[in-house]
Amino acid sequence: MRRILIANWKMNLNHQTQTQLAEDFKKRLKKIKQLEIVVAPSFVHLQEVSEIFNGTNIKLAAQDVAFEKSGAFTGEVSAGEVREIGCQYAIIGHSERRIKLNETEKMVSGKINQCYGAGMIPILCVGETSEERMRNETESVIIKQLYDSIYKVSGLPEKEIIIAYEPVWAVGGSQFLDPDELAPIAFLVKKTLSAMYSEKFYNNNVRFIYGGSVNSIIAPAFWSAKFLDGLLIGAASLDIEEFYNIASEGETFSARGQ
Ligand code: PEP
């Protein structure tokens, strides 16, 4: 599977800035061929951004989906609806939703089910808070998040999934994980998912990616990790030159087979 680079624009842009950034992505990322580029705009701009990316290699993700298929869920947006607009991926269980909107594992699990039902690939975010890290609970938190959110999902192990390790303390700030600390987490995720399903499932259907304050300066240290299948970028994806530099570093490492 190709390495993936995901831009999460969150709720940072308005109509004008979002469409302008989409146009910039379209122009600037033309030469990126080795990486799969995915952009997650806000729901209200998905249609317009989808039209801008039409005919390019840039794919669309939803920033979230509802945990049910349809019905009386005022304000929610279903996986089927975003799939219709062209989303192939959805970010699920982002720490901002888990913490600020009290999203539970049960909801996360339902959302993954809905992604599969609609024919989309979930990007499942897992990671510990700084308190959990200080209590040395990083491993147990990740194992629990993986089990609780995936265990009851129908569709696995046949379907693909992306596991985004996003330590909560590193998201949306200036702190980032020492890239050397990533290998044990990648190993843990592989061990956990291989035990739940099989190593073959992990090797063929799972991509392990990192997210948390990555910018163009530290990106090469992450891209050089052979076991890493991609990056999820928040703040730095709002600046086309920053994002382009992260992408071209990834392109260089991937072309070298790293
Ligand atoms: C994110 O929101 O998933 C993220 C990684 O954000 P940032 O790069 O800003 O930390």
Tell me, using a 6 A CB cutoff, whether residue 232 lines ligand 1. Answer: yes
CA distance 169 to 191: 24
Question: 64 is written with which tokens?
Answer: 């979230």
Among 6, 10, 232, say which to mutate for ligand 1: greatest number of ligand atoms within 8 Å of CB: 232
CA-proximal residue: ligand 1, atom 2 (nearest)? 234
Domains recognised in the chain with CATH numbers: 4-255 (3.20.20.70)
For residue range 135-162, what is the model confidence (pLDDT) as tens digits? 999 999 999 999 999 988 988 889 999 9
Taken in order 195, 177, 10, 237, the sign of the CA dihedral is: negative
Round the CA-based radius of gyration of the chain to a whole number and report it: 17
For residue range 32-70, what is the model confidence (pLDDT) as tens digits? 999 999 999 999 999 999 999 999 999 999 999 999 999
- Between β-strands 230-233 and 87-92, what pairing exists: parallel, antiparallel or unpaired? unpaired
CA distance 116 to 113: 5
- For 21, half-sphere exposure in the C-beta direction (CA atoms, 13 angstrom radius) is 25
Overall pTM surpassing 0.95 (yes/no):
yes
CA distance 81 to 70: 10
Count of residues making up the chain: 258
| DSSP letter assigned to residue 250 | H
CA distance 5 to 236: 12
Indicate which atom in ligand 1 lies nearest the CA of residue 170: 10
Residues annotated as catalytic are 94, 166
Tell me, using a 6 A CB cutoff, whether residue 171 lines ligand 1. Answer: yes
For residue range 187-225, what is the model confidence (pLDDT) as tens digits? 999 999 999 999 999 999 999 999 999 999 999 999 999
